[in-house]
Amino acid sequence: MTRRKLFGDLCWGLPALAAMQLLAGGRVTPHHRPRARRVLQIFCPGGASHLDLWDYKPELEKRSGQPMPGVEKEVSFQGANGALMRSPWKFVRRGQCGKYITELLPHLGELADELAFVHSMTSRSNTHGPACVMMNTGFAVEGFPSAGAWVSYALGSENENLPAFVAIPDVRGIPPSGPANWTAGFLPAEHQGIAFHAAEPIRNLARPAGVSEAEDEAARVFLEQLNETHAARHPGAGDLRARMAAYALAARMQLSAPEVADLGAESEATHRLYGARDANPLLAAYARNCLLARRLLERGVRYVQLFCASRASGVDGLLNWDAHKTLQADYERHAPILDQPTAGLLRDLKARGLLQDTLVLWTTEFGRMPTHQEGTLGRDHNPDAFTVWMAGAGIRGGVSYGATDDFGRRAVDGVATIHDFWATVLDVLGLDHGRLTWYHNGLNRRLTDVHGHVLRPILA
Amino acid sequence: MRYVFLLAWPMALVLAEDLERQATAMLAKQCVNCHNSSSRMGGLVLETRESALRGGFSGPALTPGDAGRSLLAARVAKGEMPPGNPLPADARRLLARWVESGASWTGRLLPAARKRAGKDWWSLQPLRRVDPEIPADAPASWTVSPIDRYLLAAMRERGLSPSPPAAKRTLARRVTYDLTGLPPTPEELDAFLRDDAPDAYERLVDRLLASPAYGERWARHWMDVIRFGESHGYEQNHLRPNAWPFRDYLIRSFNAGKPFDRMILEHLAGDVIAGGDPDVEVGVGFLVAGVHDTVGNQAEAPRRQQRADDLDDMIAAAGSAFLGLTVHCARCHDHKFDPIEQRDYYRMAAIFNGVVHGERELAAAAEKERHAAAREPWERALREVRERLAAIREAARPEVAAQREAILAAYRPPVSDRFTEERFAAVRAKWIRLRITGTPNNSPAAIDEMEVWEGSRNVALASAGARVSASSERRADDDPEAYAARHLIDGRFDRRWFAASGGPVEITIELAAPALVDRVSWSRDREGGFQGKFAGPPVTGYVVEASADGRAWRPVASAEGRLPYSPAEREALVLRAVLPEAQRREWETLEARRAELEDRLAKFPKLPVAYIGRAEQPREPVYLLKGGNVMDRAGVVTPASLSAFSFARFSLEEEQPEGERRVALARWLTDARNPLTPRVLANRIWHYHFGRGIVGTPSDFGFQGEAPSHPALLDYLALRLLAHGWRLKPLHREILLSQAYRQSSAFDEGKARVDAEARLLWRYPPQRLSAEAIRDAILAVSGALDRRMGGPGFHLFRYTVDNVATYYPLERFGPETFRRAVYQTAARSVRSELLGQYDCPDSSLPEPKRSVTTSPLQALALFNNSFVIEQAELLAGRLRKEAGADPARQVDWAFVLAFGRPAEPGERAAAAALVERHGLAAFCRALFNANEFIYVM
C-alpha cells in the first residue's frame, strides 16, 4: 500500500514525515496535470535496428542488392558500406491499426494497438558509449543526470522503503558506458539509479556474513542511542536528524527489497506469461527481470530502467543488438529474448490496471544502415534514423509519428531528437521540460539541454 | 500580447509612431541585453539608430527601407535571433515592416533589466582593497585580523554577532581534518590540550601545514576541480595505468608550497618550460586529465567530433579551474550570460590545438641521454646488419625474379585466415585432434569453425552428435560462453573459439561414431566479416592427429610443406634458394644477428612514461564552427586571450610554436592585472575551509553564478594571495587563525532565523567529512592505515577488459587497499561503493563543489559493507591490545580514538553492555557509523 493512498495528497506535508521528505520527497510541483505517475523504460543497447524490427520499407525490399541511390561510397562508423540489404524477415500487419511489424516479434506485434511509434528519431553520436549516454541523459558526454534521476528529483518516491529509481541491467552484463546510464550526474546522489536484477540483490543490503540478527539489532540500537545523545547536544542540526532517518529507512529497505525481489510469490501462470520458465536461460533471465520491474512499479518505484542485452564484446553483436556482421544470427538470438517477456510485462501491467498511470518507453541508442557493411551480412551504426515507441498512460496507441526516407537511411518527416523524446516524457509526467532545471557549473541544466519540443501527436 | 492586439487592427491604421514604439520596445526587450555598449556581442550595439547602421562584425545591421538587406530583421526573420528563443511570427513581421517603413528610431535604448553580464561585471573588475569599519562595540579579539573585521561588519548590518571560541578539543579536531583529512591521534590531541601557551593553536596550524598529509588532502580538492581521473571514460573506459605520476606531482607541489602562478604555468605548459626536469614536465598532465573517446571511428564527422570534444574538455577545464568562467558555454554561440564570444571559445581551442592525449616518456634530460647512449651501439649494429642484408637482397634481385615462380611452386599454398584444409589418406577415427603449435607473434589462436569430413559429410557438427573441447578457452567474465569451444562445431561462422593466450593449445573433437575421415578444414574468419579490430592471423603451425580410442594418436597431416604465411618469410625462402652457398651462409648469419639485436633492443629497459599528453605543431588550424557543428566551418581562428579582458592581451599567429601559445595563456592568467585568477583561487581556499565559498559557485564567477557574500573580503584575500607570492600556506594560516574559523559551531535559534545557513558566519558551520576522509578515518582509527605515499594507486574494483572495460566492486579488501583514498585509482563513472555514496565525484566532469547528500544507501554502505565490518574487527583487536581486557577501558579508548573524547557514563554503560553481549566488533561497527564520527563541529 503506498503512502499516497493512505494519507492522500497532503501526506508529503505531514510534520512527522519531514525528515523522510528530505530523503524521498519530490522537489518540484507538477507544472500541469500529470497523466502518468511512473515510468518503465526498456533499453536495448547496441543500436537495435529500426529496419529489422519496426520500420517497414517496401522500397528496401524491392531494391535489395542494388546500390543506394545517390550515394557513391558511404563510410560510416566501421567503414565502407555495400549495397542495400533487405531485412531477412517479413513484415506483417498487426493489430486493428494494421501496423507492419517484423515477424521476429510475434508477441509484441499483438500489442500493436497499444504502441505509439516514433520513426524519425535521430542521435548526435554514432558510437555506442556516447550514444547510450546521449539517449539516457540528453548529452553525449558523461556526467549528466540520467532521465530517471531527473524524474526522481522532480517527483520523488512513492514508497519510502524502496529507491525512487531502479536500473535493472541484463544478466549478460551492463550496457555501454555502464553506470553513466543511470547516474545522478550532478544531481544529489540520492537520485542515482540503484542497480540490481533478479539474480543479483542490491549491494550491501544483506546483513553481513558472520553477524547474527541479534548482534545486528543490538549494534543498531546502540548506534541510535549514540546519535540521539549527539543530536541532543547539537540542536538545530537538521542533517544529523536526516542521517538518523536514513538509517531507519535503510533498515526498512532491508526488509522490503528482498520481498520485492522474491518472485516466488508470483503464480505459475504469471511466470509462464513472461516466459520465466523458458528453456532459453537468457530469455528466462530477462523475463524474471521484467517480472521484477512490474513488482517495483507496483510498489511505487518511480522510474524503472530495464535493459535487454548488454555491452560491446570482443565480437560485435554477441552480447547486444550491434549486428555488424551476422544480422540474421544475431537477431534470431536477441529478438526472442525481448519479445515474449516484454509483451508479457505490458499485458500484466494492463491487467493490473497499472498501465493507466505508467508510461512505458522502448528505446535504443541509434538505428542501423539500410545497406550491408562491405564484406558482411550485417548493418553499421546509423544515428540519422531510429525508432522508439511509447505506450501506456497518456499515450495514443496504434499511431506512428514521423518517417524515414524510402530506405530508412535518414529521418525526413517530423525529424525528432532525443530532447524531443524526453520533453514528451516529462510532459506526460506533468512537467515542463524547460522548467525542470538544476544549476551546475554556470548553467541551469536540463534533461533537454536547450532544445526539445513535445511530440503532441502521440499523446492521448 | 501587444503584437497580437496590433495585428487585430487593419494594417493601415497602425500609426508610424506606434510602429516605432512597438519595434524599438521589442529591440530593447529582445536584443539590447547582448548588443549593448558593454557586452557588444558580435561587435554589435543596438542602442541607437546610428550604432545599428554602423553594425558589427557581420556588417551593418540596418538598411532602412530594405528588410531583406537588414541583418537585424533578416536574422530575426530566420529565427536565428534571439538565439534559442525565436520570436513569434507576428513580431518578426512587425520588425520587417518597421525597417521597410524607414526604421524611424529616436533616442537610446537600454536593456529592460539586467539579463546578462557585460564587461563591467563585478568579477572582471580590478582587485580593490576597501577596509571595513570596525563597530565600536566589537569584541577585541575580532578586531585583530582584517578577515574578522570584514565578517563582523557584515554581521552587524544584519544585527548578528559572532559565537564564542570553540572548545580546544573541537577546534583541534576541526583543523586537523581540515588540513590533513585525518583525525588527530590521541597523543596529538592530548599534547594540544595540555599546551597552555598563547600560541599553542598557531603552532598546531603550522605543524599541520607542514605535514605531508596536507598535500594529500588539498591535492584531492584540486583533483575535483580539474576532473583528474585514471581511465578514459566513454564506452571503452580503459584504465590509464600511468596517470598516477600527475597525482604524485600535485601532492608534492601542495606540500612544497609551490606558488600557484607557477603551478598554473606548469599545468598549461610544463613540457615547454621543463628544461629537462620531469618534475616540471609532468604538470602538463592537467590538460589530458579528462575524458577521451578511444573508440575508432571511420566516418569523418564523428572523427572530427571526437577531436573537438577533446579540445572542449581542455577548454572547459582550464576556463573553469583558473578563471571561474564557463568558457565552454560559448561553443555553439556567444555566451548567453557572460561576455564571452563564440570566437573566444575557438581562440582557446587554438591555444590547445597542439595537444593530444597519450603517454609520454618522463625522465630527466640526463637520464634520457644515458638511455639513448646505452641503446646507440645496438641500434648502430642493427642498422649495419640491415644495410648488409638489403645489399645482398638487392644483388640477388634478378635471380629472385627469374626463379621465384619455380621455387614457390614446390610448396603447398600458405594457410589462410579464410580457409585452411588438409587432405590425407582416409583413416578410421573416432577422435580428431588439432594440435596448434604456432601463431604469428604468438597471438592467441582463434577459429570460427572446424570441419571433419567423411566424404562430403561433416561429421564434426554438434548437430551430428560430435563433441568438442579445447585445452584453453578465453573467458569474458560476464558471458562465459562468449568464446567457448562449442562455437567450433556449431555449423556457423558468427562466433569464434579463442584460446586464452598464445602458446600451444589443442582442440579435440569426439565424433558420434567412428568415421572414415579423409579431410579436415578450419578457418578464423570464413566469411570475411571479422575485419578491422577483429581481424587476426590464422594458425600457422599445427598437427592433425587421429585416434580410434582417444588414447593412441596418429599424425595424419601438418603444416609441413606449406608456404610461409608471412610474405616476408616467403621472400626469404626464395632468396635462400637462389643465393650461392657462401652468401647464403652469410645471409643466415646476418638474419640471426638481426633477430638477436631486435630482441635485445625490445628488451631494453624502457624509460618511465606518464599519461600527460603529447604536443606537436598542429597540422590543421582551428576553425570557428557554426552552431558548434564540426562539419560547418567558418573562418580560421588564431590563439588569443579572451576579448572581455582589456589588460595584457595577447594574440598569436598560426605559425608560432604551439608551446608558446600555452605559455602565453599561463602568463596572461597569472598577470598581476588579471583579477579573476586570484579571486577564484582565494575563494576556493575559503570554500574548503568553511564548506562554502564567499562566492557559492566556485567555478562560476559569471552572471549565472552566485554573487559574493563578502565582496571586499574576497578582494582582500585575493590581494593577500598575491602579496604572499601566490603561496597557499600563508593564506591558509591567516584564515585558520581568524576568530571566525576558531569560533564555536553552537546553534542559536535567534540568529538562525536571520541567517539559517550561517552564510555570514555567525557560527562555524558544521561539516560532514568528505568520502575520502570517512574512509581514511576508519583506517586511521582501526590502526590499519598504510601511510605510504605516492606511486601507482590501489584498485577498489576488479578490472576486466573484453574490448570494453568492466569494473566489478570488490567483495574483500586486502591490506593493499588500506592506503589513503587519494591513492585509489579513480576510474571514471565507477563510483566505489563507500566513496561514491558519500559524494566522491566520478571525475567525468569538474566538480568544484561536492554535494553533500544523505541517503539510505549511504547507511547500507557504511553499516553492511565488508570493508567496515573488517575494520571494526581490526579496531576491536587494537582496543584489546592497547586498552587491555576491561570493557570500560576498551570503550573509553575507542571513544578517544574515534571521537576525540572519553565516553560519558551513560554511553560507557550502554557500550559495555553491547560489548559484553555481542563482542567488541559490534560496538566498533556502530562507532564508525555514528554521526559524531563523520561530522566535524
Interface test with A, best of B326, B487, B631, B829 (most A CBs within 10 A): B829
Q: At what angle do helices B771-782 and B920-929 cross, to 10 degrees?
A: 150
Instruction: Report if residue B858 sits inside a domain.
Output: no
Cα separation, A129 vs A206, in Å, equals 32
Among the candidates B723, B749, B775, a domain finishes at B749
Strand-pair category, A115-122 with A165-168: unpaired
Phi-psi region of A62 (alpha: psi -120 to 50; beta: other; left: phi over 0): alpha
Amino acid letter at B29?
Answer: K
Q: B58 lies in a domain?
A: yes
Q: Which residues of A touch B478 (CB under 8 A)?
A: 172-174, 310-311, 319
| Alpha-helical regions (H) of B274-396 | 278-281, 300-318, 342-352, 365-395
pLDDT, position B12:
36
How far, in Å, CA of B406 to CA of B579, rounded?
Answer: 15
Instruction: Determine what percent of chain B is predicted with pLDDT higher than 70.
Output: 96
Average pLDDT over residues B909-913: 95
In a domain, B766, yes or no: no
CB contact under 8 A, B844 and A441: no
Q: What angle do CA B730, B736, B741 make, to 5 degrees?
A: 155
* B42-71 tens-digit pLDDT: 778 888 888 888 888 788 899 888 888 888
Residue pointed to by grid coordinates 513472461: A274
CA separation for the pair A317, B530 (Å, rounded): 12
Nearest by CB: B482 against A132, A239, A318: A318
Question: Per residue in B365-378, pLDDT tens?
Answer: 999 999 999 999 99
pLDDT (average), residues A238-266: 88
Q: Taking CB atoms and an 8 Å cutoff, what residues of chain B touch A220? A: 863, 926
| A146, A170, A243, best to mutate vs chain B, most B CBs in 10 Å | A243
- Res B92: pLDDT: 86
Task: Measure the CA–CA gap between B558 and A19, rounded to whole angstroms.
Answer: 76
Q: Are residues B502 and B578 in the same domain?
A: no
In a shared domain, residues B340 and B276: yes
Place A314 in a pLDDT band, splitting at 50, 70 and 90.
low
Q: Please report whether residue B588 resides in a domain.
A: yes
Q: B403 and B420, same structural domain?
A: no
Interface of A with B in 293-352 (CB under 8 A): 310-319, 324-326, 329-330
Distance of alpha carbon B539 from alpha carbon A424, whole angstroms: 55
pLDDT at A296 exceeding the cut of 80: yes
Distance, CA of A38 to CA of A349 (rounded, Å): 12
Residues B651 and B702 in one domain: no
Question: Do B200 and B90 fall into the same domain?
Answer: no
Beta strand residue intervals within B568-617, DSSP E: 609-610, 614-615
Taking the CA of residue A269 as centre, how many other CA atoms within 13 Å lie in the half-sphere pointing to its CB?
Answer: 2
CB contact under 8 A, B837 and A220: no
**Strand pairing class (A165-168; A303-307):** parallel
- List the Cα angle A262/A267/A273 in 5-degree steps: 105
Query: Do residues B111 and B44 share a domain?
Result: yes
Chain A residue numbers touching B858 (CB-CB < 8 A): 189, 243, 246
Mean pLDDT (chain B) is 91
Task: Give the closest of A214, A218, A246 to B854, CB-based.
Answer: A246
**Region B537-544: what's the mean pLDDT?**
95
Model ipTM value: 0.79
Residues A279-287 have a mean pLDDT of 94
Please, what is the average pLDDT of chain A?
89
Note the pLDDT of residue A1: 31
What is the pLDDT averaged over residues B142-171?
95
Shared domain for B629 and B711, answered yes or no, is no
Q: Is B578 in the same domain as B533?
A: no
Alpha-carbon dihedral sign for residues A220, A223, A227, A228: positive
B372-401 tens-digit pLDDT? 999 999 999 999 999 999 999 999 999 999
Nearest Cα to Cα of residue B225 among B774, B684, B839: B684
**pLDDT given at position B67:** 87
Q: Which residues sit opposite B926 in a β-bridge?
A: none
What is the model's pLDDT at position B132? 86
Together in a domain, B466 and B597: no
pTM summary value: 0.81
Q: Which residue has the higher pLDDT, B646 or B432?
A: B432
Per-residue model confidence as pLDDT tens digits over A332-390: 999 999 999 999 999 999 999 999 999 999 999 999 999 999 888 899 999 999 999 99
Contact B912, B891 (CB under 8 A): yes
Tell me what pLDDT residue A222 has.
97
Which residues of chain B neighbour A439 with C-beta distances below 8 Å?
697, 704
Helix (H, G, I), strand (E, B), or coil: what is residue A344? Answer: helix
The verdict on A224 touching B (C-beta cutoff 8 Å) is no
Q: Tell me the residue range of the domain where B198 lies.
A: 168-210
Question: Which letter does DSSP use for residue A145 in this model?
Answer: P
**Mean pLDDT, range B516-532, rounded to an integer:** 87
Query: Is B917 part of a structural domain of the chain?
Result: yes
Interval A159-213: pLDDT, tens: 888 889 999 999 888 898 888 899 888 888 778 888 888 887 788 988 998 999 9
* Cα-Cα-Cα-Cα dihedral sign, residues A198, A204, A208, A209: positive
How close is the nearest chain B Cα to the Cα of A81, in Å?
A: 11
Cell numbers at B643, concatenated: 576579448
How many residues in chain B?
937
Q: Are residues B22 and B98 located together in one domain of the fold?
A: yes
Can you give the pLDDT at residue B2? 34
CA distance B619 to A83: 35
- Residue B38: what pLDDT? 66
| Facing residue for A313 by CB, picked from B326, B479, B836 | B479
Question: Which spans in B603-709 are helix H?
Answer: 658-669, 676-690
Position B763 in a domain: no
B90 vs B802: CA distance, rounded Å: 58
What is the nearest CA distance from A248 to chain B, expressed in angstroms? 8
pLDDT digits (tens, 9 = 90+) for B507-518: 999 999 999 999
Residue B78 lies in a domain: yes
Position with higher pLDDT, B34 vs A251: A251
pLDDT at res. B635: 93
pLDDT of the residue at A418? 98
Is the Cβ of A378 closer than 8 Å to some Cβ of chain B?
Answer: yes
Percent of chain A with pLDDT over 70: 93
C-alpha span between B414 and B401 (Å, rounded): 20
Q: What structural domains does chain A harbor? A: 34-206+274-458 (3.40.720.10)
Are residues B23 and B89 located together in one domain of the fold? yes
C-alpha closest to that of B75 among B111, B30, B22: B30
Which among A177, A186, A237 has CB closest to B829?
A177
Indicate if B554 and B429 belong to the same structural domain. Answer: yes
Q: Which three cell numbers stand for residue B352?
A: 590547445
Contact in structure between B817 and B828 (CB atoms under 8 Å): no
- Chain A residues lying within 8 Å of B911, measured CB to CB: 222
How far away is chain A from the Cα of B430, in angstroms, using its nearest Cα?
30
Q: Is B805 part of a structural domain of the chain? A: no
Give the end of a domain, one of B749, B765, B796. B749
Q: Give the residue from chain B lying closest to A237, CA to CA.
A: B747
In this prediction, residues B492-505 reach a mean pLDDT of 89
Query: What is the number of structural domains in chain B?
Result: 7
Domain stop point among B86, B116, B146: B116
**Cβ–Cβ < 8 Å for B234, B292:** yes
Reduced to 3 states (helix: H, G, I; strand: E, B; else coil), residue B513 is: strand
**Confidence (pLDDT) at B150:** 95
Task: Answer whether residue A20 shows pLDDT above 60.
Answer: no
